[in-house]
Structure 1
Amino acid sequence: MHLIKSLLVVTAVALSGCTTAPTLPPPTFPGIEQSNKIAIEDLRPASESEKKIFSLMVSSDAYAIYRVADNATDPTGPRLLAHRAYEAFPQLAEQPSIKVLHFVTYANMQSHLRRSVTQGLLIGPVGMALVGSPSYPSSEVLTSAINSEQLERTAGDQEHTRAYFTEQENPSKSPVNVIYIDAEILGKRVASRCLVPPVTGKPNLFLVEAFDMCIANHLALHRSINPATAPQ
């Protein structure tokens, strides 16, 4: 029983993000003040800006999945989106506002922590210390356009399913962040889902850097998608 309690504490600490934070100073964004003129109409559900651990029960489908709070990064995701949109679309100088309907981040450490719990039960805390943390192969950020209704359908009790991934997306079952962006820029609304695994060449990836990658891909989708052919 003591071992199980210890593993639950480890799980809670891991889900807080404390065990995976890079030791380097976070990146800065020179010139971000230039986009202060862009008004952000934040239309997100209030919960999307708040942290939530969905379950600490190993048997739960929601185990080791959590929603990341806005204040986990500086700048926040919506603020960085406004800045990158300002850089990408000169037309925003004439229409200096964007609507953010969703910008929410989930961390999925389910497979990683279930493996840790199983090993802990088999070999105990001392054995776990000797084994150390597993390493995962590096991959690339995956971004796809989605229908914004997908986010509405998975609200409430099914919210944790937004953090799921397919075997094709993440064959090694690495810990991942899944970032959803749904924004209207210059009258055009585009929604995207961005899966961030351990990234090649970025062993110490800050969440705000993951935001930047996903935002770049989202804005590329914004340029390329015709509203008439957007995902349904």
Structure 2
Amino acid sequence: MKKLMLLLSLCLTACASTPKATRIDMPGPDLSVAVHVDDLRPASEKEDKIFSLLVTSSGYGIYRKGDSTLDPPAIHVFRRVAYETLGDEVTKAPITVHHLVVYANAKSELRKSSIGIGLGGALGGAIGGAAAGVSAQGAVPAQTNINQSIVDRNAFEKYGDEYERAYYTIAENPQHASVFVIYIDATIAGKRIFVKTMAPTRVQDGQNAYSVAVQSAIQHWLSQYSAS
């Protein structure tokens, strides 16, 4: 059993790691470089983290994806898209970012993949299948739609454990699909907006789910800002 748990941990670590940053293509010159950004995020939000490798843990299958997982980092993408959308409005005062953090919640899928696993190749096959988007039984994994909402700042700050921020409700994700959960809390021109975006980890061929999720979250923040 100890060997099984060790092998499971090693496989999950390999699946969760991101050896190469996901590229977000933004053609043309970046004219937002002169825009000042006050990055007030907690230092932890900029760092990768695997919350637990223990299958029975509440934090199992949940990861924080730090700045190094995107090229350019999400905060730079936010600055540029904000400038390109709002123009001179973001040059009159600094953009202040209180939270901009991405979580991945693959708990349900990984737990299903671990059921009935034996030693050796069966374990590697199951975990590899989960990472590739196929369940241990070869079925197509569950999917979900993008879900976006305004965040209650007090509730956000009261989570007992950080990984709970990546939880979802049945209404948000009825099939328990693997998802990205992204929070953006920022201020521009005195208006502070805090939003959450939950997006699937799988999208149509030719697209990168992580890139799509982050850009969708930024666009949602801007849409709420413009509407406020």
Counterpart position of 2:213: 210
The match for 1:97 is 94
- The structure richer in helix per residue is 1
Instruction: Give the Cα–Cα distance (whole angstroms) in 1 for the partners of residues 220 and 80 of structure 2.
Output: 14
> Residue 229 of structure 1 corresponds to which residue in structure 2?
none
Residues 120 and 128, structure 1, Cα contact 8 Å, conserved in 2: no
Q: Note the C-alpha offset of 1:28.
A: 1.5
CA positional deviation for 1:126: 3.4
Higher relative contact order (CA 8 A, sep 6+): 1
Instruction: Give the percent of matched residue pairs that are identical in Structure 1 and Structure 2.
Output: 32
- Residue 153 of structure 1 is matched in structure 2 by 158
Counterpart residue number, 2:145? 140
Distance 2:29 2:68 in 1: 17
Residues 210 and 91 (structure 1), Cα distance of their counterparts in 2 relative to 1, 3 Å cut: same
Q: Which runs of 5+ in 1 are unaligned?
A: 226-232
Query: What is the letter of the counterpart of residue 5 of structure 1?
Result: L
What TM-score comes out, normalization by structure 1 length? 0.83
Equivalent residue of 1:144, what SS?
strand
Partner AA of 1:104 in structure 2: V
| Structure 1 moving runs of 4+ over 4 Å | none
- From 105, 121, 124, the equivalent of 1:125 is 121
User: What residue identity is the alignment partner of 1:152?
Assistant: E
Q: Partner residue of 1:43?
A: 40
2:53 corresponds in structure 1 to 56
Give me the TM-score of the superposition, normalised by structure 2: 0.85
**Shift of the alpha carbon at 1:88?**
1.3
Equivalenced residues, count: 218
Residue 8 in 1 paired to residue 4 in 2? no
Q: Is the 8 A contact 1:136 1:198 kept in 2?
A: no
Distance 1:107 1:93, change over 3 A: closer
More moved, 111-120 vs 124-133:
124-133
1:74/1:206 Cα in 2 relative to 1: closer, same or farther (>3 Å)?
farther
Structure 2's unaligned 5+ residue stretches are none
Query: Is residue 71 of structure 2 the alignment partner of residue 74 of structure 1?
Result: yes
